[in-house]
Structure 1
Amino acid sequence: MAVDVGPKALMEVLRRFDAESANGDIEVTVLDIALHRPTLDDVFLTLTGRKAEESS
């Protein structure tokens, strides 16, 4: 999932999971979570819809 402010969005998702679990509405177990800073290739793919061609 791409978001503009990764750490803030991540904390909000975790808070909501915690709140829903505390209410007994759902039970969520987070096994792994990570943030990824996009590379130039990631940005190119997002903007153009295709992978950048490698130069030889």
Structure 2
Amino acid sequence: MQGMDGLVVEESRLFTLADIGYVQEADVKPVLVGELLVKQKDPTKGITELFGKDISC
């Protein structure tokens, strides 16, 4: 999505660490993760697995 200030946000189909790596290689930093978290019993664990590290701080 192209914002008014030129910010690009990836907002769909991010389910794996490889998915995150792909969009980051395209220099997209902000991401919107929804479905992955809704389906997790432990959202913190899901985010940790998705990003390959604990980013909950």
Instruction: Give the TM-score, by structure 2 length.
Output: 0.24
Larger fraction in helix: 1
Instruction: Give the TM-score, by structure 1 length.
Output: 0.24
